Amino acid sequence: MGELLEKCTAAKLAAQKMARVSTVTKDNALGAIAKALVERTDEIIAANKTDLENARKNGIREAMIDRLTLTPERIKGIADGVLEVKALSDPIGEVTGMWKRPNGLEIGRKRVPLGVIAIIYEARPNVTADAAALCLKTSNVSILRGGKEAIASNTAIMKIMQDAAYSAGIPEGALNIIEDTSRETATQLMKMNGYIDLLIPRGGKGLIKSVVENATVPVVETAAGNCHVYVDGAADPDMAEKIVMNAKVQRPSVCNAAETLLIDKAIADEFVPRIFKALQAENVEIRADEKSRAIYSENIAKATDEDYYTEYNDYIIAVKIVDGVGEAIEHINKYNTKHSEAIVTDSYERAERFLNEIDAAAVYVNASTRFTDGFEFGFGAEIGISTQKMHARGPMGLEALTSIKYIVRGNGQVRG
């Protein structure tokens, strides 16, 4: 508890000072950070080597090792990301409304920092720079708690960021990393009420679950994505194939990739063979319902109810033939994680119905679910994708890291 309490206390003090730091100072600090990350690449590479050696010793699988590996090019990419955050406009201080009451009170609503934001994340060390830069840009203090696999890399990156930021006028205590990567410390962090204004978990299902169950501080849940593409009877089959393939195979490991394909029975006889062949050509394993197996081949694996609930994040897709847009909506609202859902159709009425009735952060007509992303949405940044409905939903840009404050100017008003 020593390190955690000490850093949380420093963070809370720094948050008060951060609320007064100017945009110019923040942007100068982000510029200095980007420069320092490139200049001190050797230190980061050396630390990363330690992490990689430990990973190999612990038999971590190759895909993870790739995520963990830093090269000068990747570090340049991280520094460029910091410069992109620098280039965004500062939301803090923006007045989002102002009105006068009959008693003469003038009420203004102003964007202010949330205060202290804690982020618990897994392997990838780029999240360290990314998350700390977004918090700094929005005058928030960050407390990062990364996974033990990347702790040497994360600590090296954070040290460089702290040096550069504090030299540029950012108050000490505004950027923090918890070096103790034990599970106990993570759980304590989730319960630091009074110190932490928002906790964002970034990682797999296990991490999200642990945060939701243990946290007593406010949380935004992120990232579980059991996304669907529904190919309607009125779809252009070429467009449908293009969208299904993009949503499934362009990057299957991410949360906005499709996991289940729903096909309108009206076009199943033609579309099932076509799309199954295309999927198999890309080595996608198909788990299908009885009807589509009957159309295509009994050699295809059977989909269970469990399959429809599963976010594979892999070259696997579940398939079901449905009786039109109504059953598609019903299926999706039952099995989805409220992330991203798409319909392919040329029917105006069915498109509108799908947009209105699907319960998800992002609902698409004739486009791939893969676009749910802060950059693709034009926010210029992303701290995560919220799958809950309160505070922020969908891709979280800078505004999701702000709160509001009411400023009330009077001339002696009292309540009667």
Q: By CB under 8 A, is residue 391 in contact with a second copy?
A: yes
CA-to-CA distance for 17 and 140, rounded, in angstroms? 10
Identify residues 277-306 at the interface with a second copy (CB under 8 A). none
Q: Tell me which of 146, 225, 394, 397 binds a second copy, using CB under 8 A.
A: 394
Stretch of 147-155, 243-251, 285-293, 312-320 lying at the interface with a second copy (CB under 8 A): 243-251
We find the least distance from the C-beta atom of residue 415 to a second copy, in angstroms, to be: 4
Show Cβ contacts of residue 36 under 8 Å, excluding neighbours closer than 6 positions.
160, 161, 163, 164
String of DSSP letters for 305-359: HHHHH----SSEEEEEEESHHHHHHHHHHHH--SSEEEEE-S-HHHHHHHHHH--
Stretch of 177-185, 296-304, 312-320, 403-411 lying at the interface with a second copy (CB under 8 A): 403-411
User: In 73-222, where do the E strands start and end?
Assistant: 95-100, 106-113, 116-121, 141-145, 175-177, 198-202
What mask of x and - would describe binding to a second copy in positions 322 to 361, judged by CB under 8 A?
-----------x-----------------x---xxx-xxx
We find the least distance from the C-beta atom of residue 229 to a second copy, in angstroms, to be: 11
Q: Are 340 and 225 spatial neighbours (Cβ–Cβ below 8 Å)?
A: yes
Write out the two tokens for 407. Answer: 């400023």
Beta carbon nearer to a second copy, 37 or 229: 229
We find the least distance from the C-beta atom of residue 212 to a second copy, in angstroms, to be: 6
Q: By CB under 8 A, is residue 188 in contact with a second copy?
A: no
Q: By CB under 8 A, is residue 174 in contact with a second copy?
A: no
Q: Are 257 and 245 spatial neighbours (Cβ–Cβ below 8 Å)?
A: no
CA-to-CA distance for 239 and 247, rounded, in angstroms? 12
Neighbours of 238 (CB within 10 A): 9
Q: Tell me which of 138, 142, 246, 292 binds a second copy, using CB under 8 A.
A: 246
Q: By CB under 8 A, is residue 407 in contact with a second copy?
A: yes
Q: By CB under 8 A, is residue 206 in contact with a second copy?
A: no
Beta carbon nearer to a second copy, 281 or 294: 281
String of DSSP letters for 162-187: HHHHHHTTPPTTSEEE-----HHHHH
Stretch of 150-158, 177-185, 224-232, 400-408 lying at the interface with a second copy (CB under 8 A): 400-408
Stretch of 61-69, 99-107, 148-156, 278-286 lying at the interface with a second copy (CB under 8 A): 99-107
- In 3D space, the residue among 163, 175, 140 whose CA is nearest the CA of residue 33 turns out to be 163
Q: By CB under 8 A, is residue 168 in contact with a second copy?
A: no
CA-to-CA distance for 398 and 36, rounded, in angstroms? 23
Stretch of 13-21, 23-31, 83-91, 151-159 lying at the interface with a second copy (CB under 8 A): 13-21
CA-to-CA distance for 393 and 360, rounded, in angstroms? 9
Beta carbon nearer to a second copy, 315 or 377: 377
Phi, psi of 30 (to 5 degrees): -65, -40
Residues lying near a second copy in the complex (CB under 8 A): 16, 19-20, 99, 101, 105, 107, 114-115, 193, 197-198, 212-213, 216, 218-221, 236, 239, 242-243, 245-247, 250, 333, 351, 355-357, 359-368, 370-372, 376-378, 388-391, 393-394, 403-415
